Structure 1
Amino acid sequence: MDATILGLLLLDGVQNGVIYGLLALAMVLVFAVTRVILVPIGELMMFAPLSFVWLQEGKLPGTLWLALALGVLWALLERGRGRGLPLLGGMGLLLLFLLAQGSPALAYLAALLLVVYLGVATYRVFFQPMREATVLALLIMAVGLHVAYQGLGLVFFGPEQFRPDPLLQGEVVVGLTWQGVLVLAFALLSAAALYLFFRRSLFGKALLAAAENRLGARLCGIRPEEAGMVAFAIAGLMAALSGLLLAPLINAAYFMGFMLGLKAFVAAILGGLVSYPVAFLGAVLVGLFESFTSFYASAYKEALVFLLLVPALFYQSLRAKGVEE
């Protein structure tokens, strides 16, 4: 291996790691507040660029009707005045999509808000009624939603891959585009913003309080249900922005979110599902490990990446045992 190949492998590993890191941050955020391992985060990520492409072609995507259907169920689950919010949000989303057909700027905004609305509706319809369930039960629900959303993605968009135009054209160096620099900057800002949000802001501390002790949070005037909605909204926003920024680099298809989400889960586990900086660093490690293993043993790169879970889970097991003792 010469210096040129080493440089390309390092660059490819960092770029892949940033992609996994963006999703890992969203997974850590949701788990910290709701104890939900957001398995369908990859599908939410792909829904944004696919919906954007559909709007650019002058068509309404099927994800809009999925979001509106979940919005109706959300309204039925609410009581009193709370029913008006999801219905009003759904009507506003439909109007925005009708106006955004053929308009790139409005299409970006519409795809972004669609995933945010879909994320909040997913939590309200599927996870909030299970708020007292175990982590295992929540995980089973999350896996079921992943399967359902992936199947619906095939129905809505078909098996083709799409690549929207990048926001920034041109290359910085060989193998690194300005769009890739934009993704890297967004990832670093997201990691820093989440860390400061939970460590410095009163609202972030309230979300953590709702995760640690629901009864204590209620006694302090914090509603865990609202905290969960906010967590899913932020995760949906991050997933949508990540998908829109990454699609010009990696293409977008209904099936691509699963593997991205799975590797993000590995990165989140390396961070113990609690630390944003460690999860992001773990994602970069996963990306570098994948890059070098694909060079030396390309046939086994996926298995070797997932093998990283073994020492991470072993460490978490020893840590939990030490806390109990």
Structure 2
Amino acid sequence: MSNIYLAKDLDNSIDDIYIGPYHAVDKVGGYIYRSRESLLGYDVPIKDHIKCMLELCAGAHYYAHSVYSDLYTESSTLIDLNELKIRRVDSEGNPCRNAYLCLGYVAGGKYWHMDTGLANNAEEDYWRAFSWGSHYGKPDNFSNEDVNAFNTKNYPNARYFKNTFRISGTDKEDTVNCIYEFLDENESLIASMNLEFKRGYEEIFTRSENGKPMLRFTRFISMVPRSGKLSDDNADDTYLIGVMRELRLDGTPWTEDRLDYVWSVQGANILDLQISGLSDNPVGEDIDYINIFHRYQLN
């Protein structure tokens, strides 16, 4: 059983870090790759943004946030299922962690957050579509069972998973679309699903001076305790190799110059992490790669 640490448990010793390694509490640390407000032209210390978002007992992971703006309405990525390597069972063969490769957003309304993408979080070992957001519940046009059925067990010929996240806003409503596609080895379409979430005006996004939705696009890869309990974040020898390729904002490469906040957690349990061009040996300018191995008890 692990200790439970929240962001409020951290002291102020890391507050002024802008970039580089940080030690949060106990044996838990990570790395700040970027912390800035690029559109405003200044760097931001960890205490003013990243610190409150640190999930210290959620396994090894990274997060990347775009600029907060009205500049973009869509993010996307392509995942080669053959590149994913995973062990999510404990010594007795029981699933003890869930894995996620996701896009998403954070914004200023009641429905301020959503993760959407690919998950390995069932009793059996297969990948399936996934979405979860603050206060959302199920999509407007599909049941949760429909979403869960969009998986590699039901589509065994799938080689790729394309994940597209799209937003829009009018003077009457806000809309989020989560679009999932299974593709074959030639990248031809096998099946698709388009989840829709409509809410009232500014219930999801506040508006810019131009009347457009304001948000940060996000991306991450993680492997969290399956129980949902922070106390179950143990050294269980689970691992995940995850890759997201062809990362895009509005169809153009989502490179590091379009990232404002990027950080990792539980660095000792990350064997390798390459985020766009921010790391020592980048896979590609619009590719994220992580190798997680929960070998150390850090909390």
Place the TM-score, normalised by the shorter chain, in its bin: under 0.3
Between 1 and 2, higher relative CO (CA 8 Å, sep ≥ 6) is seen in 1
Task: Kindly indicate which of the two structures has a greater share of residues assigned to strand.
Answer: 2
Task: Kindly indicate which of the two structures has a greater share of residues assigned to helix.
Answer: 1
The higher radius of gyration belongs to 1
Give the structure-2-normalised TM-score: 0.24
